[in-house]
Amino acid sequence: MKWRRRLSLFLGICLLIVGLALIFNKQIQSMLIKHATQTQLQAKITKPKKTKDTSFDFKQVKSVDSTKTLKNTLNKSQGMIGKVAIPAVNLKLPIYYGISDASLYRGAGTMKPDQQMGQGNYALAGHHMRDPNVLFSPIVRTKPGEKIYLTDGTKLYTYKITKKQLISKYAVEWINDVPNEKLVTLITCDDEGVDRYAIRGTLVKKQKLTSHLSQKYF
């Protein structure tokens, strides 16, 4: 019967599509996230604005979920409040206020509500993925002495990496301010999602952000 052949063909095509989606799931996920971060980097930097989804509780952050990727990369996000770059590992990401899913599926999120670049300990969190070039995955390849660059759209802040350490997920003291020090701290999960990588840098330079410097680093 023709209808049976058509049904079999239709089911076969559906199974093929599902199979391809499963095989290439991680690649599709990485592609969507990369597109979202690169698109956002071209947007205008805005002032921090708290919303109902704003969170600063890193313990509540879940690993990247493929079922949430489409929603969090295609839906309109909150405004970017800055940018972070580490040229040595080819990292360039937008910074968002807080660490909600909408923030961490597109870039880095601030871990404290009132932190400011160039003051105290500016702490950022980001997702670590199997793709070594997506989101905060590159920070595990950083080395002491390499530079971290932050900008709020007006100033360029240059930090020199001084520490790189695997820490417990309960070591919240890493995001606290340290008296008389101007720091940046980047935190992401390890491969197993059990512990955390912490990268610490010390401020070495603050200067006006020119178009030349913006193009060079971001």
More confident of the two residues 27 and 161: 161
pLDDT tens across 103-133, in order?
888 899 999 999 999 999 999 999 988 888 9
- Domain holding 77, by residue range, is 2-217
Identify the CA nearest to 84 among candidates 107, 106, 61: 107
Count: domains in the chain: 1
pLDDT at 5: 53
Tokens 């070591």, located at residue:
171
Catalytic residue among 14, 127, 128, 212: 127
Q: What is the pTM of this model?
A: 0.82
Percent of the chain with pLDDT over 90: 54
pLDDT at 56: 82
pLDDT tens across 127-138, in order?
988 888 999 999
Residue 128 among the catalytic residues: no
Question: What number is the average pLDDT over the span 161-176?
Answer: 93
134-171: burial string, b at 16+ Cβ within 10 Å, e else: bbbbbbbebeeebbbbbbbeeebbbbebeebeeeeeee
pLDDT at 89 > cutoff 60: yes
Phi, psi (deg, nearest 5) at residue 161: -65, 125
pLDDT at 22 > cutoff 70: no
pLDDT at 10: 45
Count the Cβ atoms, other than its own, within 10 Å of residue 6.
10
Catalytic residue among 14, 35, 128, 189: 189
pLDDT at 7 > cutoff 50: no
In whole angstroms, give the CA distance from residue 104 to residue 68.
11
Residue 14 among the catalytic residues: no
**What CATH number corresponds to the domain at position 194?**
2.40.260.10
